[in-house]
Structure 1
Amino acid sequence: MEITKIIETWRNSKIKLNEGAELTEIIQLEEQLEYKFPETFKQFYTRINGFKDSDWNEHMFSIFPLDRIKNEYETSENKDFIPFCDYLINSHQIGFSKKNDGIYINYENILGDFNDKVADSFELSLIEILNNSDKIY
């Protein structure tokens, strides 16, 4: 499934989506976080900049806009994890590890660790979220 289909599915579900970000905003965030996002992340965020007003899908997952990604990272003690999504108002977060390839769950508020791998890529993690896979819990 490609990024366009994922976005259209969310639009059809009446999830409030932000307008896309400028590529320069993504590059600036990369510099601030000292992390290079994959191209699929950049393609996604130039199309939509996360869910608007912390809206969530029917399974209570919310995709962060860039400013929330930055804020969540800056306020976290774990500087090896960059979240882009949360479940159940921050019960746990889904995001990038600076040390490992792939997408992970961070139960920082509960366990202080993020060793559960959700997917091998950003796009595949969005599919897991869209499909309400057991991997994202």
Structure 2
Amino acid sequence: MNDLTIRKLQKEDLTNGFLQTLDSLRQTSNTDKKTIEKTFEKINSNQDQLTIVALLEGKVVGATTLLIETKFIHNGGKVGHIEDVVVNKKYQKKGIGEKMIKYLLRYAKEQGCYKTILDCVDDVKPFYEKLGFKHNANALRFDHT
């Protein structure tokens, strides 16, 4: 995949496969345009949040987000949180997810993170373990609905 490009999400990506790629996680492409643009502006203005995309032949085929949390513990250290890793179903099993994760891990280290964490379902746990992640704790969820 020599023609794969990984970079920060740009506004034009919103209409270039990004929303359709997110559909692999949860239906997103039918969200109203104003809501998507407001969300982009909010995310894009947050210096502690980075959404990246993977482009193949100029079209978005993957995406993920890194949130950076500054802690009171660890002398004000930082923790990276990886969220919403997704590769368009047509392009899975081609190394795109691995390249995106490695990109975010490098970025998190450059930003001074002492660790990077993520939650995942059991089905994809081997994928992350192959990249060096280790089982550490249990993730619990509370829905505010």
**Given the two structures, how large is their TM-score scaled by the length of structure 2?**
0.30
Greater strand proportion: 2
Which structure ranks higher in relative contact order (CA pairs < 8 Å, sequence separation ≥ 6)?
A: 2
Larger radius of gyration, structure 1 or 2?
A: 2
